[in-house]
Amino acid sequence: MEIIKIKYEKDEIVGRHFTSEICYKCSACSKFCPITLHVPAYDLENSFVVHLYRAEREKALRDVWMCCSCEKCFNICPQDGDPAHVFVNLKETSYREGFAPESVYGLVNQLLNAGSAYVVSVSTNKGREKLGLKEIKANEGVVADLKKLAAKTDLKVKGGSGA
């Protein structure tokens, strides 16, 4: 069994979970990880989890977004490792440093400006009206609350502009 340690600044990524720092490459998570099972670049011996632990920092920060956060790796790890915790921290770091996919920044921007995850267009509301449903209106209270939350957590949209 091979022991793999994270290559990048582990204190920032791992936090207080020492068991997350090391992967014993037992491949238990490989059998359940949707990325390992469905992306041809990975297999049971060289899983997505192993890839992220071995990758150079920038590659890990870009590739971590393939993780669907199902937490199967956490639930199945016989060593009480918590790769899911590492991946959440990687995603947060990736977002802050500008490595997240454009769609993630677009979603954050949409949420902070409209209070919903999708654009509600005139045609959307016309369709709702035909179905006898209420019109969806922007909820200014939600937008204000989200902007306060973003300011308190130092959440920024891409390009460094504040929430």
Please indicate, yes or no, whether residues 41 and 116 belong to a single structural domain of this protein: no
Q: Are 22 and 4 in contact (CB under 8 A)?
A: yes
Distance separating the N- and C-terminal Cα atoms of the chain: 47
Closest among 111, 119, 118, 117 to 147, alpha carbons compared:
111
Q: What is the pTM of this model?
A: 0.74
Residue 162: phi and psi, rounded to 5, are: -75, 170
Please indicate, yes or no, whether residues 83 and 117 belong to a single structural domain of this protein: no
Please indicate, yes or no, whether residues 123 and 60 belong to a single structural domain of this protein: no
Please indicate, yes or no, whether residues 62 and 16 belong to a single structural domain of this protein: yes
Query: Which structural domain, as residue segments, surrounds residue 109?
Result: 102-152
Please indicate, yes or no, whether residues 147 and 123 belong to a single structural domain of this protein: yes
Tally of domains within the chain: 2
Please indicate, yes or no, whether residues 60 and 22 belong to a single structural domain of this protein: yes
Please indicate, yes or no, whether residues 92 and 106 belong to a single structural domain of this protein: no
> Which uninterrupted H or E stretch holds 4?
strand 4-5
Q: Are 14 and 89 in contact (CB under 8 A)?
A: yes
Domain assignment of residue 158, yes or no: no
**pLDDT (tens digit per residue) in 57-78:** 888 889 999 999 999 988 988 8
Q: Are 92 and 104 in contact (CB under 8 A)?
A: no
Question: What's 66's domain CATH number?
Answer: 1.10.1060.10
Question: In Å, what is the CA distance from 12 to each residue of 1, 46, 119, 122?
Answer: 27, 25, 35, 44
Please indicate, yes or no, whether residues 68 and 91 belong to a single structural domain of this protein: yes
Please indicate, yes or no, whether residues 114 and 84 belong to a single structural domain of this protein: no
**Residue 158 burial (C-beta neighbours within 10 Å; 0-12, 13-18, 19+):** middle
Q: Are 87 and 64 in contact (CB under 8 A)?
A: yes
Please indicate, yes or no, whether residues 90 and 48 belong to a single structural domain of this protein: yes
Indicate if the pLDDT at residue 162 is higher than 50.
Answer: no
Domain assignment of residue 159, yes or no: no
**pLDDT (tens digit per residue) in 122-154:** 999 999 999 999 998 878 888 899 999 999 888
Please indicate, yes or no, whether residues 91 and 46 belong to a single structural domain of this protein: yes
**pLDDT (tens digit per residue) in 75-98:** 988 887 788 888 888 898 899 889
Please indicate, yes or no, whether residues 14 and 88 belong to a single structural domain of this protein: yes
Q: At what angle do helices 140-152 and 102-114 cross, to 10 degrees?
A: 130
